[in-house]
Structure 1
Amino acid sequence: MTVLHLTDEGEAADLAAFLSRLLHYDRSAAVRLQAAGTALAVFGRPPSFEVLAIRAVRLAKPYENGLDVTLDVTVSAGELLEAVDESAATAVVPGAVTGPPWAGVLPPRGGWRAEPGLPERGELRGLVAASVAEFRSRTEELAPEARTRAALDRVGREIWSRTVGETGLPVRAVHAAQSLGFLRGDEQSLVSSGAWLRLRTRYGSVAVRRAGVGALGISVR
């Protein structure tokens, strides 16, 4: 049995909140865990946003109960959530599951460089609010018989695929960051590595593949 010892109760609560949000969008969600030293990265993919969400967790005891030099496993998000003990600041790693396709292709660990043009948090939140309002307005204007899933998806793709200024970052990535509780405080940045763009905050990151960049920067692990 592998037990993860987190730094404190707050870190455990934040991990539990992240898993709960992922499960809100997909009750059968899986997460990939990668740990080395005192850092644990939790990767998930909320289907509504088509992005990769990454939550970094600080570990207090990286080698406890079988957690050797590294840990790399895909598990059920629901089972992991049940195994989080916030008062003890621990989490028992559940049994491995067959990972979804996205779990085999992750952003690179290094080589990230800063990208210019990312607006400040208030502007980003305003952009998401305006996009949500536009989606509601446009879909409400559709005749009842035309308000099909295909029509709603078409409007959604048009709105959420727009980019934030000249950054190339799709608005859906900002929406995901806000919905997952990452877009808090004033410490957010945009970085890139190969084909990947990453909106990074102190609470977590959202990564997307840039269209038309080919297979550069893919890390299969």
Structure 2
Amino acid sequence: MTKLRFADEGEAADLCAFLTRLLHYDRAAAVRLQGAGEAVAVYGSPASFEVLAVRAVRLAEPAESLDVTVSAGELLEAVDEGAAAAVVPAAVTGPAWAGLLPPRGGWRTESALTGEELRGLVAAAVAEFRALVEEIPPQERTRSALDGTGRRIWSRTVDGTGLPVRAVHAAQSLGFLRPGPGPQILSCGSWLRLRTPYGSVAVRRAGRLGGLGVGVL
């Protein structure tokens, strides 16, 4: 049995918030945990966004040997916020993305935008989606029509960086685009990444999760 002791109650609360948001999109969500010194990286892939998200949680005690994929729901239930601790649940057979993580290092800055700019970008995209949906006759608002409309909007890229707008939307939906130091758009090989002080979202340039590499964002 592996027990995680978080740096403080705030770290435990942030982890619970991240897991809750992942479960909002997929009640059967899994997360991969990787120990990295005095922190543990918690990877997840929120359904429909086609991105890989990671939240680094500070620990009171190192967990260097930890590397396991578990149920997000079971991990959420195992977190004791008051005690700032959690017992790691039993391992599960992870989805394909869990074995294909971005590289540990070698990232370079592509663009630095303010959180306000990125939040505005998402708000504009949401407003455009709603307006376009309103233009579709009610009898033609099929799932296929809605998905196609959304795909055209969310596949656009941010300032020519190649990062799809859906990655920014995912970052906001997961609580990563909070007020504070500006986010950065980074690249490494075929990977692109939106990094904020509260978490990261990564995608392949081709728009699909894949490729080799294991590391911590």
TM-score (ref. length: structure 1): 0.92
Counterpart residue identity of residue 199, structure 1? L
Residue of 95, 99, 114 corresponding to 1:100: 95
Equivalence for 1:26: 26
Equivalence for 2:45: 45
CA deviations 1:124-181 (Å, max 9, x no partner) are 1111001001111111211122100000000000000000111111100100101100
User: How far has the Cα of 1:17 moved from its partner?
Assistant: 0.3
* Correspondence list, 1:50-61, <5 A: 50-61=50-61
Counterpart of 1:200 in 2: which secondary structure? Answer: strand
Counterpart residue identity of residue 103, structure 2? P
Where does structure 2 lack aligned partners over 5 or more consecutive residues? none
Equivalence for 1:186: 181
Equivalence for 1:206: 201
Counterpart residue identity of residue 95, structure 2? P
Counterpart of 2:184 in 1: which secondary structure? Answer: strand
* Correspondence list, 1:150-165, <5 A: 150-165=144-159
CA deviations 1:75-110 (Å, max 9, x no partner) are 000000000011110011000000011111000111
Equivalence for 1:128: 122
Where does structure 1 lack aligned partners over 5 or more consecutive residues? 64-68
Counterpart-to-counterpart distance in 2, 1:182 and 1:38: 21
Contact 2:104 2:214 in 1 (8 A): no
Query: Structure 1's 212 and 198: CA in aligned 2 closer, same or farther, altered over 3 A?
Result: closer
Give every structure 1 segment of 4 or more consecutive aligned residues whose post-TM-superposition deviation is greater than 3 Å: none
User: How far has the Cα of 1:187 moved from its partner?
Assistant: 2.8
Q: What value does the CA root-mean-square deviation take over the aligned residues?
A: 1.7
Does 1:177 pair with 2:171? yes
User: How far has the Cα of 1:120 moved from its partner?
Assistant: 1.5
TM-score (ref. length: structure 2): 0.94
